[in-house]
Structure 1
């Protein structure tokens, strides 16, 4: 059983709404370390990466890449930590923060092993670039960047322009994609399971295929878990909620199947926004999903 390392990245630089910088604290407050220790894991919390706040930096309001320099700096720091954690044989759990932090997670994983798959559990595709983004928020770009599309300084982070192969990337829970972003998803050849397909086929069948794609010829799976994949009924405290999402049980089933696969090598848990939450319900949901991801079952 691998030892677990928790890394907080309190960034809201990539998100248009404030508050996700408090996500790591909310998830910790909901009892993440204790829950994992009760499952038998050795857990060490490495604390938070230092992240500049928007108030500390001037922003070009017309930019298509808001806070580019700061986002890149955070990603570089996270990448180095992820590389160190994985090379020591431990499994990193990265707590966001907005989803732009996944640029650093995937860069760090690629420096340790260029042969891993990705399951992107999200309401959104996160496949925008500066040419397609309607907002300029980089949290809508991390998957594109990791596949080699977008700003050269982000794409080249960590010395590798492509952090993961598109054939081993799966989107699950998708229900909100910009039209140009959809074109890039098709061009890249990424398998995308929308909520409509999950409704028709069921989460069990979808996840079985997703795991097969992400493990085909790879050394394991990185899970990027955005809490807005869940329906707002179950996860109200997210910055970009979209109705019609994954249910409580579907979410747990997906995590349980990933746990049973034995293929998990790293995980991001992102976009928890306590300011928009109701009694820390979303952070608690995050902890419960991570418990299932690391093997908690009824019997």
Structure 2
């Protein structure tokens, strides 16, 4: 049996303790629920007592969290959960790198940062490669981060326009039966892309950019027969493309352009018997070095912590049925 150990960390002031333990000690209870060690807060220090390995992991975790707090980074419940996951593998210090740089700021001036190691890898791959596939569950920031990088590229002048597209197959609805003209028919499908743009640029700027043709949002069928030069092109919900559509899309790549293809292979809405173009493309293209493939896991989910639990529960169910 490993020996008992006690270690202490100093706090500079009471505010640090509040930031670290969360509102009504919520974060502290979260940490305590996942460890046998005892965590005490006295005056201006934290005292951790327990088995040596547990204590050392917690010491690293609190040390990293305090460094983030001292850099004015507000920690969320999601950040705490992720930090604890990393601490289990002695990787808590990787958080310091994650929070260091901001990839952009929202139009309200709020910094946009990557939240997980998977996201960091995704962002750096998009910067390096002309075609990147981002595959994984809902809530991992696949589309949002791609849109943020597209807007950044447009602002920096490295592309002349942004093209956002999705296949118009969603949850069993058929476009022909929706009311309204084409713009109205297409909008509900493309709403998540607008939402991401609005957050980064603000609605006024987005509408101006759409009017000037700097941003184009269109169903995938509208890509046929075009070559897209000097553009940042995002294909969202790519699991709902057919193999033919995916090949058509990928061969639109023009000079000076970047493509990001995002999708979740567990949410395919294609008719039965139709193969997903995303699954096929990842298989066919996997040996092309210039193409980046990022596979997100449930640990990369950055929505409410319940979303992660829901994804895991559904995964277990499908594995049991499989």
Higher RCO structure (Cα 8 Å, ≥6 apart): 1
For Structure 1 versus Structure 2, the TM-score category normalised by the shorter chain is: 0.3 to 0.5
Q: Give TM-score, length-normalised by structure 2.
A: 0.34
Q: Give TM-score, length-normalised by structure 1.
A: 0.36
